[in-house]
Structure 1
Amino acid sequence: MRIRTGGPGSDTVLLALLDGAVAWLAAQGRTDQWGPTPWSRRPGAAERAARVTAENLVLIAEPEPGAGTAPGPGPTGAPLGICVLADRAPDHLPPAGEPELFVRWLVTDPAHRGAGVGAALVSEARRRARGRGIGLLRVDCYAGGGGRLVAQYERLGFTRTAAFTEDRPTGPWPGQLLELRTG
């Protein structure tokens, strides 16, 4: 795979990958994280995706040109994953107290689960942070579901820093803040 820089116009990639992740989670009965509704059909989602991909650093994992993709249901050459990196955490989280890149979205195509797409995107995010003289990557994620997503970030090298709970219309949403030193 290769990783390219995205930007404005990458919102369609973000929404397609989010829709695939929601469908995959829902098929397993795991709707507590994002619910069963595809992201692209949520009010304001298209505008939010356009804004975050225009305002932040976007990394897109794709198959090498001419290589196609690993076996799976996705179309040949379709993006394998996306990582959207901001210069700071969302306002509801504690500030880092130092320069950081914050992972706003890290989404991979479920058809390529276990193929190292997320690891490749995190590795590139670390490289980009170091190139900017930034020593810290942070991410927040869903902490429910037996902590599976938290464990996945830990396998990628992140360590837990602070647990939190968000009040959402569907009820309390448990979250976990994690960090990764880039050096």
Structure 2
Amino acid sequence: MTLTIREGGPDDAPLILGLLDGAVRWLVAEGRTGQWGTRAWSANPRAVAQVHRYATAGTPYIAESDGMPAATLTLTDAPGSYVEPAGEPERYIHLLAADPRFKGRGAGAALLAHAAEVTRRAGISLLRVDCYAGDDGKLVAYYERQGFVRTESFSQDGWPGQVLARRVR
């Protein structure tokens, strides 16, 4: 599989929502509803507004395989309101999601590597992300395999989260 990564923008919000919806369907099929529940992102006005906000304030990136969207993430200059800023310049990853048809094929890892390179080229050394830390911890372990280390844990309305950081030089 050959991946290309392109910079997106606010017009990509429907594509991002579609990838998030596909990820929810996959998680539900796997019995893993703790992360994002059972409702499609595109059916939740608050989630739709969040995607549009990040796609406008940040920079979405789309990994494509033969012109088909395989995965996405958005980089911003700060975390969401539920995480304290780092106290130094940073880039923050939001909304990493992959099309389940591309699961295990490296699209997410390629986007994370791209985000690290974009951060480094901007002269910023800190890249952070947060994720669901419940159930078996597989998502936290995934980020650790991508070079991130755990920093602080948090809980938002009973949802267990973990912030992870990666230094890029």
TM above 0.5, yes or no, is: yes
- Tell me what 2:151 maps to: 161
* In 2, Cα distance between equivalents of 1:48 and 1:9: 14
The match for 2:54 among 52, 55, 69 is 52
Q: Does 1:177 align with 2:163?
A: yes
Could you say which structure has the larger radius of gyration?
A: 1
1:7-156 correspondence runs (5 A): 7-63=9-65, 68=66, 77-156=67-146
Local SS of the residue matching 2:69: coil
- Cα distance in structure 2, aligned partners of 1:93 and 1:44: 18
Aligned equivalents of 1:95, 1:8: Cα separation in 2: 24
* Cα-to-partner distance string for 1:67-100 (whole Å, 9 max, x where unaligned): x3xxxxxxxx320011101101122212211110
Amino-acid identity (%)? 48
Which one-letter code corresponds to 1:179 in the other structure? A
Tell me how far 1:47 sits from its aligned partner. 2.8
* Alpha-carbon spacing, 1:91–1:47, altered in 2? closer, same or farther (3 Å): closer
Q: Calculate the TM-score normalised by the size of structure 2.
A: 0.95
Cα deviation, residue 25, structure 1: 0.3
Q: Deviations over 1:98-155 (max 9, x none)?
A: 1100001111111111111111101111111111100010001000011010001111
The two structures have a TM-score, normalised by structure 1, of: 0.88
The amino acid across from 1:32 in the alignment is: G
Between 110-119 and 18-27, the greater mean CA deviation after superposition: 110-119
Alpha-carbon distance in structure 2 between the residues aligned to 1:92 and 1:140: 10
CA distance in 2, matches of 1:34, 1:46: 14
Query: Which letter maps to 1:157?
Result: G
Post-superposition, which runs of at least 4 consecutive aligned residues in structure 1 deviate over 6 A? none
> Please, what is the CA RMSD of the aligned residues?
1.0
Q: Which amino acid in structure 2 is aligned with residue 142 of structure 1? A: Y
State the match for 1:74 in structure 2.
none
Aligned partner of 1:2 in structure 2 is 4
Unaligned ranges ≥5, structure 1: 69-76
How far residue 45 of structure 1 moved from its aligned partner, in angstroms, is: 2.8
> 1:48-68: per-residue Cα shift (whole Å, max 9, x none)?
3222112101111012xxxx3
